[in-house]
Each structure stands twice: as C-alpha cells, then as structure tokens.
Amino acid sequence: MSKEIEDHRLLNRSANEPFSSVLETHVSRRRVMQGGLGMAAMAMLGGFGLSGLAGRAEAAGAEKTPLSLAFDAIRGSRTDAVVVPEGYTAQVLIPWGTPLNGQAPGWREDLAFTPEIQANSVGMHHDGMHHFALDEASASRRFVLAMNNEYIDQDALWAPQGGATNAKEGKRPADEVRTEINAHGVTLVELAKDDGGRWRHVADSAYNRRYTSATEMALSGPVAGSDYVRTRFSKDGTLTRGTNNNCANGYTPWGTYLTCEENWPGYFVKDEGRERDDDRLGVATERGRYGWETAAGDAGERNDEFARFNATPAGASATEDYRNEPRTFGYIVEIDPYTGARAVKRTALGRFRHEGCWPGKLVAGEPVVFYTGHDSRNEYIYKFVSEALWDPADANRPGAEVDRLALGDKYMDKGTLYVARFDADGSGEWLPLTPDAETRDGRTLAEALGLAADDQAGVIIHTCDAADLMGATPMDRPEWGAVDPASGEVYMTLTNNSDRTAEGTAPTFNNDGTEIEDLGVGYATAPTNAANPRAGNEGGQVIRWRERVGANRFDWEVFVFGAAAGDAGNVSGLTELNQFASPDGLHYDDRGDGQGILWIETDNGYANVTEYTNDQVLAVVPQNVGRAEGDASVIGAGDQAQLRRFAVGPNGCEVTGIVITPDKTAMFINIQHPGNWPAGDDATAETQGRVRPRASTVVIQREDGGTIGA
C-alpha cells in the first residue's frame, strides 16, 4: 500500500493475540536492549534456528564459492534524480502516458487526457510487475512486461486544466471519471533491447494492451455463481467489471500474471444496507475515493458504468442493483499476458486487501502453493494450497499455444486457504479457512460465521472474519513476499504500524487524532508480540519462515529490522550506508547453486530516515548472514557490510516493483508518484525547474554489460 492512500482509521477489530505480543513472549527470557524490547531475537528454537541455518551455510561453503555483492553501498540522496552505484546507468522507460499504439498521441507537458487517450496509453502510478518471455532464446532482450497501475494523482492527470473537477464534492464529469477509470488497472507492453544496450517499448505490438477498472472479467472458484455476487450487470454472478488499486503482483508457473486488488473498498459507496464485510474491509459510507459514483445518471452513461460504484440497495433484489458489486472485488486476478483473453478473478485465494501473491517452492507431484498478505494494520498472512498436484508438463512454454487460464482453473479454483498463527517459540501453524474447521471456541467455522454447513463461498466473502475466529496472528501490515526457490524459505515485509503499543497498554488515539473507540472500527489494543515486537513501529521489519515437511506448521524468525542508524531501537545495527524504514517491495533473485540476492524496496515515512534519504533499494545475500548469539535478527551488527544500499529514488517517490532479466544484466524498478521527475531519458539527471511528474519504469544496467549486483 502506498502511504499516499493509507487510511489510518482502518484496523482489524479482532482481539486475537497480535504478532508483537507473540514476539515479546518469545524472548521474555532474553531482552536485547534497555527498556525491554522483546522479540524473537534469539536463534529460533526448533528446526529453523541458528543451528539449522549455520549448518546450511557450512555445507554450502564446502561445495561452492559463496556469492557476494560486487558494488559499494551508496550514500543516501534527497534529489530529483535516481542514484545508482558507480559503473551503473539508469534509463527512464514507459512513463505514464506513453502511447501503446497509434490511437494515442505522443507525450507533451500540456497533454489533455481523454478516456480514449488514457485507454491506449501506459497507466498511472506504476507498481508491481513481471516479465514474460516471448521465446527462450531472446528472453533477456525481448519480453512482455505486465505492470500494475495502482492509483492516480489527480493534480498531475488534470494539470492542463488546473486539477480535477469537483474532486472533493459535487458531481464529477463523466469523461473525467472514464479517464480516471482507464488510468487504473494493468498495462501490458512489449519491451526490447537494441544492440547498443538501450531499451524501448515496441509501439503497436500485438501484446500491448490495457486492463482497466472498466474491463469485463470473469469470477471463478467458490464465490462464482453464488448469491453473494449476483448484480444487475451479472444476474448469474459469474462476471464483473474492472480491477482496482492493484499494488503488488505475482505470477504462475504456467505463464500467467497475477494482479492483486488492495485498497479497492474506498472506491465504493454504501450508505444503507451495509453488511459486516463492508465495515470490516472499509467500503465508504459517503463518497468514494474519487467520487466516481457521482457521475451516475449522466446522459451518456453506458450500462451503469458509474452507478455500479454505489452499492446502496435500490431494488427489490440484488439482481436489480449493485449492492453486491464490492463483493466482486478483493481477489487475485489472473491475466494471460500472451493472448488478451478475459481476465479471471480467482476467489479461492481469499477476499481482502491483497498486497501480492507469490508461488512457493515448486515440486513435481506436490500441491502448488501461493502466499499472500493483507496490507492493513493488524491483518494476516495467508497461504493457498492447490488440490491439484503440480505436473511439470504444465510449465510455461513461451510461444506455445496453450490455454493458460484453463491451467489456472486446474490449480487455483480448488484447494485450501489457510491463515497464519505465529507462536512465541518461533514456530507457527497454518489454520484452515474451511466451513468445517474448528474455531477456538469449539464451533465449526460455518456455524461461527452464521453460514450453511458447506458454504465455502461465504467463508471466502468473510475471509477476514474467518481468520479472526480461527485465532490468526495480527501483523504489522504484511506487504510483499519473496520465495527462495531452492530452500523454499519465504520472506515477507511488515512495513510499519505506528499504532502498535507497548505490552499491557491500549492506544487512545489514531494518527489523525480521532479516538479509536469513536471510529467503530479498529483493534482496541495492539500490544507488541513476537513477530511485531516494537511499540509505535515506524521502522518495520522483514520476517522469514520455512515450512515443515508433512505438516501445516512452519518455523519463523525476524530477518532484519528497519531503523535509522542513530535510533535507540536500531536492534539490527544498521549504519548510515544501509539504514532504511518501512520495507515494502521484495524480490528474491535466484543466482543458482542454492544462492541468491534478496532485494528490499522501501516506502518510508519515518522522519529519522527520510531526513537522510529518499526511498531506496537495498541488497543482501541471505546465505552470507547468520544470527550471532544475542542478535535481535538474522542481520546483526556483524553483518552490516552484507546489507548494502543499491539505488535511491527521486524526491517524493516510492520505489516499487522489480524485474530482473534471466541473464541478470538488467534490473527494472518502478518510480511511483515522484514529486518533480523525470527530466528526460536519463533517470540519473536531476530535474531543473518544474515538470509534470510521471511514474516511470527505470532500467538499471552495468556500463560494461555485466551482471547486476554480484
């Protein structure tokens, strides 16, 4: 979630023991700093602790040359430019508004957008992305890039006219709303590298296309066809329109893109007839985020294109209005990047504010696993396990004519959704979210939710309530995940939680000054716990876990804590050259032989760090770090040379999204909502004067054409 649109009023109201409390209990025997910061700071007890990791490192060292970072950490920067290490270049590519075909004009500073221009141009506010080879031979030189366009900056979008019309109150003009709808969603664009090492997008490529907040999509899995999603548009509950606020992403082994609906609830309004999931997820009560619903009734409105954003019951039944429209959102959306086929919302993976969706270690003859997190304070981490077993014959074959979405039906429509509980001893358990699962008070989950005994669709609609009832562990905003394909270890960022309180205390006010009790939402107390150990956690942390074989259990530990170098709470020992806060984006860059680079991106709002540097990209080789006795996290004081700052973004931006070519010679990152950038094609050129800011993809390469990072 971008901090630009975070709503601090939205909190999990359950009374489950939060991760911070778990972590506090876990290390009550060993305090790691004065004042009693408790955390899972000692080596994790069990199979995934100091001894387990040390043994793996020793074995690895005996068989291969350790991978090492081959760049010097750069200093922080606060300029309108991208900063990269010496010997590297950074190129601006496909900024917002780049035409995808001949139906859109080229960019100019005073370009006045229309619905048609935006529908045929790169969308706004670039976020998660993934690459899809067009053939194996040229996979590192030519591919389709699938990229999320999370939300919009109305000031930049409508700059030529001085801003959006009636942005905060009153009726929005229909064409402005259509344009904003078309600026959201997903962009697919063919990229190619020339002989001189420069990248470009392929204009008019058959692969260039947009999926927007108006594109027709299918519903699949347990919720499809149920009464929960019948609307005036889709009376049988099998279709919906659009995907909204797509933040992080994922991909499948069979070659499809997964885009994840995160802060979608605020686009809808429901002032009467509210259901508990409307309140739990935060559907608006008065005006949507951009007031799209106010354009309803326009003389040119087509097929309720604006009316659908008002979910207030207006007819005698659900098929006469859009009361269920919000229930067609909150899912993982699968897109075939090669064909342009109708996208599919995979409801079996749960309904909430998905940050992203990452495949677990792939093993022939075993289920396919996906991990996903709910990016709100005190929300949960989930895992989906397919019913079908993985068949290597289903692996993606670029260029082959394959019904990839049929493979999605096979692996993603049937399976079991689990939610995580983190225990103080460094272990954890995956709790099933099925109608017959036993809740903490001995009832079935269906009974506790007031559902029919076999109503899996109802469980999915109420995923968050179901997780509450099962006793899942509330976390500090689970964001991006990454999986080491060799070991199966999973990393996930917990970006921050400024309302987290010390053990035994209760917060009185939210960040905006409103009393928690008056909001009617939110966790009454959010005490520290094992995996979320810091009160007022503005720094965030990265956690790591490993699945136990043959059981729904795992072992976990804190990999690194974000902090400023001079903080009393800098328990990972960060220095000026690697201090960071609010870890967000995450990518495991497999380099073979059981080794890789973990890349960490930030979306920082913590003053102690922002005073020193803009948002950034850091790198570490996990196999080169290990917990020393008494360390609070895997990365400790003795590992500082192993965690290095690699890149810094321009003023005002979030650094997000990451793709690395198979040959490891080019890294693509996204610069979202910059304040006054880019100045041209050279991402490192500092902007002089004022420009109309444009989110852009940046390609980082070595000047000598060598591999990135190592």
- Encoded tokens for 661: 């070519």
CA pair distance 64, 417, nearest whole angstrom: 38
Share of the chain above pLDDT 90, in %: 83
Q: Strand ranges (DSSP E) for 150-269?
A: 185-193, 199-201, 209-211, 216-220, 239-241, 246-251, 257-261
- Strand order across the beta sheet in which 644-648 lies: 583-592, 595-602, 616-620, 644-648
What DSSP element (H or E) covers 463?
A: helix 463-470
Cα–Cα dist 634/557, whole Å = 8
Strand-pair category, 367-373 with 595-602: unpaired
Reported as a single tens digit per residue, the pLDDT across 119-175 is: 999 999 999 999 999 999 999 999 999 999 999 999 999 999 999 999 999 999 999
Q: Report the C-alpha gap between 677 and 647 in whole angstroms.
A: 16
Longest dimension (CA), the chain: 73
Rg of the Cα atoms in the chain? 24
In the block, residue with structure tokens 């506010």: 125
Q: pLDDT by residue (tens digit) across 622-640?
A: 999 998 988 989 999 999 9
- Averaged pLDDT of the chain: 90
Q: What is the pTM of this model?
A: 0.92
**DSSP character at residue 296:** T
Residue 24 clears pLDDT 70, i.e. is over it: no
pLDDT of residue 42: 36
- Please name which of 264, 312, 314, 313 lies closest in space to residue 289, comparing C-alpha atoms: 264
Least confident window among 156-170, 484-498, 500-514, 523-537: 500-514
pLDDT at position 508 is 44
Contact status, residue 606 vs residue 567, Cβ threshold 8 Å: no
With 90 as the cut, is the pLDDT of residue 650 above it? yes
Average pLDDT over residues 196-217: 97
Q: Out of 13-22, 109-118, 173-182, 600-609, pick the least confident.
A: 13-22
Four-residue CA torsion sign, 120, 125, 130, 136: positive
Asked whether residue 180 carries a pLDDT value surpassing 60, the answer given is yes
pLDDT at residue 255 tops 60: yes
Confidence band, pLDDT 50/70/90 cuts, at residue 551? confident
Residue 124: which of 63, 78, 183 has the closest Cα? 183
What pLDDT band is residue 99 in, cutting at 50, 70 and 90?
Answer: very high
Lowest mean pLDDT, pick from 33-42, 258-267, 366-375, 389-398: 33-42
The string of pLDDT tens digits covering residues 263-291 is 999 999 999 999 999 999 999 999 999 99
- Mean pLDDT (whole number) for 434-459: 97
- State the pLDDT at residue 29: 35
Q: Side chain identity at 534, as an amino acid letter? A: R
Half-sphere exposure of 496 toward its Cβ, with a 13 Å CA cutoff? 24
H or E element in which residue 421 lies: strand 415-422
Give the model confidence (pLDDT) of 316-361 as tens digits: 999 999 999 999 999 999 999 999 999 999 999 999 999 999 999 9
- Quote the CA–CA distance of 101 and 121 in Å, as a whole number: 8
Compute CA distances 636 → 228, 561, 600, 630, 674, whole Å: 49, 9, 16, 9, 32
- 73: tokens are 């950490």
- pLDDT at 462 (0 to 100): 98
pLDDT of residue 5: 55
Going by pLDDT thresholds of 50, 70 and 90, the confidence category of residue 527 is confident
Region 355-380: mean pLDDT is 96
Is the pLDDT reported for residue 191 higher than 80?
A: yes
Q: In percent, how much of the chain has pLDDT > 70?
A: 88
pLDDT at 58 over 60: no
Q: Determine if the peptide bond prior to 105 is cis (ω within 30°).
A: no
Residue scoring higher pLDDT (379 or 2)? 379
Distances (CA, A) of 312 to 174, 274, 305, 577, 633: 20, 8, 15, 52, 48
List phi, psi (to 5°) of 181.
Answer: -60, -40
Q: Which of 46-55, 562-571, 598-607 has the lowest mean pLDDT?
A: 46-55
Distance, CA of 500 to CA of 503 (rounded, Å): 9
Three-class DSSP labels, 464-499: HHHHHHHCCCCEECEEEEEECCCCCCEEEEECCECC
* Gap between the Cα atoms of 696 and 246, Å rounded: 16
Dist. CA 123–CA 46, nearest whole Å = 47
pLDDT at 452: 98
